[in-house]
Structure 1
Amino acid sequence: MSNISVSENEASSSEPENKNSPAVIEESPELQRASSSTVPPDVPSDEPPDAPDGGWPAWSQVVSAHIANMISWGYGTGFSVFQLYYKQTMNLPAVQVSWIGSVQIFLCFLVGVASGRLSDGGHSRQLYATGAIICIFGMFMTSLTNTYWQILLAQGFCQGIGAGLVFMPASASVAVYFKKNRSFAIAASGCGSSSGAILYPAIVQFLMPSVGFPWAVRICGFISIALAIVGFCLLKPRELHRVPAPYLDLKAFKSLPYSLFTAGSFLVYFSLFTILIYINSFAREILGLGDVKSVEFVLVTNAIAIVARPIFGFLADKFLGPVETFGLNCIALGVMAFGWIGVHERIAMYVYSAFVGFVNGGAQGLFTSAISSFVPDVRKMGTWIGMTLGLCGFATLAGPPTMGAIVDANGGKYLWAQVWAGSTIIIGGTMVLISSRLVLRDSAKPSAI
């Protein structure tokens, strides 16, 4: 968010400056660079002017959030390896197996609503510790499972609840430590989801032949213990003036730009994770590649995403703004979903995985930063972000099973599932871009500051 500075003598007679308006107002450079990421000027902003925006205290929060994203989103995004393993060993249909990953990601989003509000209330460290413990407990319980419902409880419910508790406090902490470089910082911390989506699937896939599936998952748990300790020690939430706030701030939805952005994000996330979850199965079942080769595409996608996230974060901070950069990446991802239809051989799959990783990394890496651009009061950062994440959680719950049902209904063919994914993402991305235009429209209206 950007500040608008107006002298006291001019405040009563000035109107907001806009590209299409002759009225004059002094704007900060940040507002000129990223006007699409600001809230309308008639909404008061209580954001502290002294955000560190750098230095070890601020960047250490990025490291802590990076680790939290590894344990939460990284493990969940890497579900494609588990998807293929469960489908092959338990002879279950794709739609049934997909529910495990969907529940995990859904709860991560939904629990973020409560943990976001609690982190605003000063309970970030308690949430981080509790969430990490539940996540790790879920990993070890997954290693002991033998039936579908046991896997659903351990990896779906337990892991999802823990993930929702651990990632939100860390992400909100990063947002309030940065202002000018917020998009870059959040994108860098978000790289943790890609780091985790490389680490955990690689461990499971490459160690499973030698130590077996249970011990491969336990090794994931032991590594997570070490990571969680480091992340917890680094987490130092800013001491801000706390004000009583509800778990839901329904007044937020009176803002048309915020509401439209949330609706568009819902459509994007309905199909975003389906690409990441099914890319492994597609390589195995349609292209006829082995298990080891299939997982390589997952690793390529997430490795490229690590590079893409800070790049798009920099572009958002310096040139386009987080909302427009997020929206453009979503549309590009939708186009890539349609491009998936033309993949018929291994080399094409490698190229496709790289491009998907690049645009998907930009989209996911900027999501939290884009939401924060609509928040007028930094003390409600976790609440507003949590509400959008909670609604998007319902999309991730229904998305992968829907794609699995489409694949199963078409005899294992992916064509109409790919069309569905591309259509929903492009429509959602377009709505996100429109929300940024509405902010500019509202900024052009004369209002008292």
Structure 2
Amino acid sequence: MTTIHDPEKANTPDTLPIPARAISDNSEKSEKPSDLHAASDPGRGLADNGHNASGSNLQEESLAIAPEQEWIPPDGGWIAWSQVLATCLVSMISWGLPTAFGVYQLYYRDALHLSQSKVSWIGSVQFLLTYGMCTLSGRLADAGYIKSTMAVGAFLVVLGTFMTSLGTQYWQFFLAQGICCGLGEGIMFMPPLAVCSSYFTKNRTMALTCAATGTSIGSVIFPAIIQYSIPHVGFGWAVRISGFVALFCTTTAILLIRPRLQPRRSGPLVEWSAFKETAYLLYSVGAFLLYWALFFGSFYINSFARNIIGFSTIDSVQLLLLSNGMSIPARPIIGYIANWHVGVMNTYVTATVFLGTVTLCWIAVHDRAGMYVLSIFFGLGNGVCQGLLLGSLASLTKDSRKMGTRIGVVHTLVAFATLAGPPTAGAIIDSSGGKYLYAQIWAGLTIMVSAALFIGARCVASGPHLRVKM
């Protein structure tokens, strides 16, 4: 196995980083770690280039090379963008299935005659495990176990989905959909994300945002499958159709994925030192608060439409599909703007404020027209906030080899937020006699506080100047 040199020991002759003159202009060669480490031999580098520089000059030149330049990302090309496609397919399953829980919630509530708060625990546990497993899967991704980790996660997702189709009681749905699917979704999500991020530098935000579009696609496809298949084939086969879609997408993603960085075998599961960085700490707390309230709309917008406005069950599900569908074109467009014009953190702050404002405006909705308008704007804000989470966090991570671990830690933090969020909203609604006012206020203000913390993280990272692209 090729040894990865520690940049902190670059002052010793046997651990010199890659000399700038030894890096070939051929981009294909620069992507291969074996070629780069062969080039890092000072004697060979001098012989190949015909230079007679002294050892001190070579060492001085080597120290100027940043750690993340050990392997230059291609930043484009078929292989790089195929990793975006693979990540998109996995995102479609990992987040599309949990986001579709609003449709399941209506079915479980009617079929099992349970309270909204109790039913929402299935979806909350699913989100908890999807986010919570990201620390483990992120570290496994950094260690090089890419395809095997994805395969285990895909197996659990498909198994849990088919077991859900056989369920008849609350505990069966809880185990199959909440726990088994949640574990699988979290295990398989981080490896393709870490690989995708390693292929890009300048286009990273655009690539990650396009990859996150899979979440929006899945959150439209899976609710539609369940809602419109049940009248024709029943609940069981409707869920099995979702399972076959998940099987196809995950298999394709595993075949497409191609890791390019050398594994980082050593290192902690959780990088606690990251929290010593004020920007990372503020961002993490802000992400926790954002995701505490983020899925309030996804879980309850259709039940609000049916119970308060008077929509039929089918019409209320159409609102959910409309809301989720709006983020499909929004994510790549916003990703392009963030990548090339405004900056990802600036865009993320703006999107969070927008979502908080829309959530508070929900209070004023009292008719069908208002529900359609709310669904459109909520879908835009919610989709952009989810889509920019990865890119904004990546902007605070300088070493690409730690990308999986750092993103995984934040995902684990927000796991507990998503676990508590929907049941908290459900408890507020139930204690208010079925009224949504106090839940809407709670969600809107929580999102606004998270936006303030993101502003703090942005200012710490790049200063208070508004015109700085960050």
TM-score when scaled to structure 2?
0.83
Query: What letter is aligned with 2:219?
Result: A
1:150 aligns with 2:152: no
Aligned to 2:274: 252
Q: For 1:285 and 1:170, how far apart are their aligned partners in 2?
A: 40
Q: For 1:241 and 1:220, how far apart are their aligned partners in 2?
A: 34
Any unmatched runs of 5+ in structure 1?
Answer: 1-43, 444-449
Query: What letter is aligned with 2:206?
Result: F
Equivalent of 1:315 in 300, 314, 337: 337
Any unmatched runs of 5+ in structure 2?
Answer: 1-65, 466-470
Equivalent of 1:280 in 284, 288, 302: 302
1:339 aligns with 2:339: no
Q: For 2:102 and 2:424, how far apart are their aligned partners in 1?
A: 16
Query: What letter is aligned with 2:92?
Result: M
Aligned to 1:46: 68
Aligned to 1:212: 234
Once the two structures are aligned, what percentage of the paired residues are identical? Answer: 44
Q: For 1:96 and 1:234, how far apart are their aligned partners in 2?
A: 39
Aligned to 1:429: 451
Structure 1 residue 46: deviation in Å? Answer: 2.7
Distance 1:241 1:112, change over 3 A: closer
Aligned to 1:201: 223
Q: For 1:98 and 1:413, how far apart are their aligned partners in 2?
A: 17
Q: Give the total of aligned pairs.
A: 400
1:168 aligns with 2:210: no
Distance 1:45 1:274, change over 3 A: farther
Structure 1 residue 171: deviation in Å? Answer: 1.2
Structure 1 residue 222: deviation in Å? Answer: 1.2
Once the two structures are superposed, residues 382-411 of structure 1 have per-residue CA deviations (whole angstroms, 9 ceiling, x without a partner) of 000000110011100000000000000011
Once the two structures are superposed, residues 266-304 of structure 1 have per-residue CA deviations (whole angstroms, 9 ceiling, x without a partner) of 100000011111111111111111111111111111111
Query: What letter is aligned with 2:88?
Result: H
Aligned to 2:202: 180
Query: What letter is aligned with 2:443?
Result: A
Structure 1 residue 48: deviation in Å? Answer: 4.2
Q: For 2:139 and 2:79, how far apart are their aligned partners in 1?
A: 23
1:257-406 equivalent positions in 2, closer than 5 A: 257-406=279-428
Query: What letter is aligned with 2:369?
Result: I
1:70 aligns with 2:71: no
SS of 1:68's equivalent?
helix
Aligned to 2:62: none
Aligned to 1:87: 109
In our comparison, the structure showing a higher alpha carbon Rg is 2
CA contact (8 A) 1:308 1:359 kept: no
Q: Which runs of 4+ in 1 moved over 4 A?
A: none
Structure 1 residue 243: deviation in Å? Answer: 5.1
Distance 1:149 1:177, change over 3 A: same
TM-score when scaled to structure 1?
0.87
Once the two structures are superposed, residues 325-371 of structure 1 have per-residue CA deviations (whole angstroms, 9 ceiling, x without a partner) of 11211111011110111111222111111111112111110101111
Q: For 1:146 and 1:244, how far apart are their aligned partners in 2?
A: 46
Q: For 2:105 and 2:464, how far apart are their aligned partners in 1?
A: 45
Query: What letter is aligned with 1:93?
Result: S
Q: For 2:283 and 2:353, how far apart are their aligned partners in 1?
A: 14
Distance 1:318 1:353, change over 3 A: same
SS of 2:72's equivalent?
coil
Aligned to 1:117: 139
Query: What letter is aligned with 1:429?
Result: A
CA contact (8 A) 1:45 1:376 kept: no
CA contact (8 A) 1:47 1:376 kept: no
CA contact (8 A) 1:75 1:197 kept: yes
Distance 1:47 1:431, change over 3 A: farther
Distance 1:213 1:47, change over 3 A: farther
CA contact (8 A) 2:144 2:263 kept: no
Query: What letter is aligned with 2:96?
Result: G
Once the two structures are superposed, residues 94-135 of structure 1 have per-residue CA deviations (whole angstroms, 9 ceiling, x without a partner) of 110111110001111110010000000001111111111110
Query: What letter is aligned with 1:387?
Result: V
Question: For structure 1, which segment, 274-283 or 254-263, has the greater mean C-alpha deviation from structure 2 after superposition?
Answer: 274-283
Higher relative contact order (CA 8 A, sep 6+): 1
SS of 1:376's equivalent?
coil
Structure 1 residue 45: deviation in Å? Answer: 5.0
Distance 1:256 1:442, change over 3 A: farther
Q: For 1:220 and 1:115, how far apart are their aligned partners in 2?
A: 24
Distance 1:203 1:378, change over 3 A: same
Q: For 1:207 and 1:230, how far apart are their aligned partners in 2?
A: 25
Q: For 1:106 and 1:362, how far apart are their aligned partners in 2?
A: 21
